[in-house]
Structure 1
Amino acid sequence: MLAVFEKAIGKPPEELRLPSNVLEKAKTREEILETFQSSCPESTVYYLSNGNFMALSHADESIQSHPRSIVVIDDVFCIFIGILENTCDLRRHYGLPRQATEAMVVVEAYKVLRDRAPYPPDQVIKDLQGKFAFILFDARFGTLFAARDRDGSVELQWAMAGDGSLVYSHDLDIIREACGKSFAPFPPGCIFTSGSGLTSFVHPLHKVRASTHEDDDGHICGVTFQVDLFTRLPSIPRTGSAGNWADQAPVVKEGEGNWSDQATVVKEGE
């Protein structure tokens, strides 16, 4: 799995830029996609606007524990890795058919939050029980949403590309090839959205902070994001019908068109 978004859509935490002396070696979005397609020629790629893209390969996939899937519903793109243990309950809760997959459930949960829910994202993500990681992009509103289960059961890395873009992948080798050392594990039990940035759905009243690591020479060689249980946030804003996720998305300038108009899918080899 690979997903890359320009800085205007998925503004990466500045700590991913550390160590700064290696960012110049990181690739651009175009170079990252070219490298991915060379190593995974059978991959499916969704081309979005402005050079953003989402790609999925089933190479070396574990069907039993970490199956991968991608769906597109009403201009919402979602790559899902893993298994939800309470899929049946979630289907009934959201009124979905028995054939609905985990990725479809996640898309429906997001749409409910975006359109109707009077509560923050952490309240809904807590209902997802299992081992999972997912990347979701709402092409209509330009909204990015990513999450990883509370135990970190599914590998998920995020990084900063050479042009400042945000990069996601479950494959550490892909991340290293694309971004050098400007990457970190996506923290377990956390969500990242375009409007709110990085937050914890396990400890929503506490801030997620970055801790740097140094080598023997005192140079910064890596960063880890963790929940600071010693610092309590003063409040968590509640999201209602008058201020949903879509309202927090970047504004599309006149003449640029919307995201959905420019999204296409290409299956390599077809």
Structure 2
Amino acid sequence: MLGLFGKATGKPPQELRLPSVGLENSKSPDEIVEIFRSKWPNSTVYNLPHGNFMALSHEEESPNHPRSIVVMDDIFCIFVGILANMADLRHHYGLQRQATEAMIMVEAYKVLRDRAPYPPDQVVKDLEGKFAFIIFDAKTGTLFAARDREGSVEFQWGMASDGSLICSDDPTIIRDGCGKACAPFPPGCIFINGIGLTSFDHPLHKVRAMAHEDDRGNVTAVFFQVDLYTRIPSIPRTGSASNWADAAVVEGD
């Protein structure tokens, strides 16, 4: 899968620039889309508003981590993996037995967006299985991505040469498109544009970017992890709109 979101939409963490060579070897969004199309010629590509893209190919798909895509009410969702508690989730969201994982995630997102009495971390915390997903709401411009707590499904993110956010389950696409300006998407975490990165198991603790340096002090890689020693103060709010703001967020210090 591929998710490509312009800088204004994706708002990627600036820590992705930390590696010393940074964006020097990264490519433009158009070049990255062409890399994906060249590697997966039978892929489905969606040209979204404001220069955003989402794409999916079923080639070389693992039976343990199948890929699916759904578009409902201008909400696009790519889901990779399997949910073990599908029956419970279908019942909870009032969906038919034919509903797929991607359909469930769209419905969960809509409930969260429109009327949920709980924060975003609770939605993902209720998911049992091995998964990674990207949701894009074309009406609101909201990007919502997550990965299971074990990191069972390959999922990485990075930055294009213009600062666009790139997400993919294909490490080759990330490496060829982003150079060193990339990192594994942290397991057990949620990313919402405009809010940032949060752990769904530890939503009141910061998720920090950690730099890996070589012997000369050059940053060669970056990864993100929960800082269990730093707690974010929580201010009680009411109303569904404020639930998005209640998420514990990190976009740097």
Same fold flag (TM > 0.5): yes
Mapped partners of 1:242, 1:169: distance in 2: 29
Cα distance change on mapping 1:21 and 1:92 into 2, 3 Å: same
- Would you say how many aligned residue pairs link Structure 1 and Structure 2? 245
Q: Deviations over 1:207-236 (max 9, x none)?
A: 000000011222100001000001111116
CA contact (8 A) 2:75 2:138 kept: yes
State whether structure 2 residue 103 is matched by structure 1 residue 104.
Answer: yes
Q: Deviations over 1:107-165 (max 9, x none)?
A: 10000000001221011111111000000000011000000001110010000110000
Structure 1 runs not aligned, ≥5 long: 247-270
Structure 2 runs not aligned, ≥5 long: 246-253
Mapped partners of 1:245, 1:225: distance in 2: 21
- Secondary structure of 1:42's counterpart equals coil
CA contact (8 A) 2:114 2:240 kept: yes
Pairwise CA distance, 1:25: 2.1
Mapped partners of 1:149, 1:180: distance in 2: 25
Q: Quote the residue 2:192 is aligned against.
A: 193
State whether structure 2 residue 233 is matched by structure 1 residue 234.
Answer: yes
- In the TM superposition, what are the counterparts of 1:75-94 in structure 2 within 5 Å? 75-94=74-93
**Runs of at least 4 residues off by over 3 Å:** 236-239, 241-246
- Secondary structure of 1:107's counterpart equals helix
Cα distance change on mapping 1:236 and 1:71 into 2, 3 Å: farther
Q: Normalising by structure 1, what TM-score?
A: 0.87
Task: Name whichever of 152-161 and 234-243 sits farther off.
Answer: 234-243
Mapped partners of 1:33, 1:244: distance in 2: 34
Mapped partners of 2:206, 2:231: distance in 1: 7
Mapped partners of 2:74, 2:117: distance in 1: 23
Q: Quote the residue 1:133 is aligned against.
A: 132
Q: Quote the residue 1:250 is aligned against.
A: none
Mapped partners of 2:239, 2:212: distance in 1: 40
Q: Quote the residue 2:182 is aligned against.
A: 183
- Secondary structure of 2:34's counterpart equals helix
Cα distance change on mapping 1:245 and 1:227 into 2, 3 Å: closer
CA contact (8 A) 1:78 1:136 kept: yes
CA contact (8 A) 1:119 1:239 kept: no
Letter in 2 for 1:52: N
Q: Percent identity?
A: 72
Q: Quote the residue 1:251 is aligned against.
A: none
Q: Quote the residue 1:49 is aligned against.
A: 49
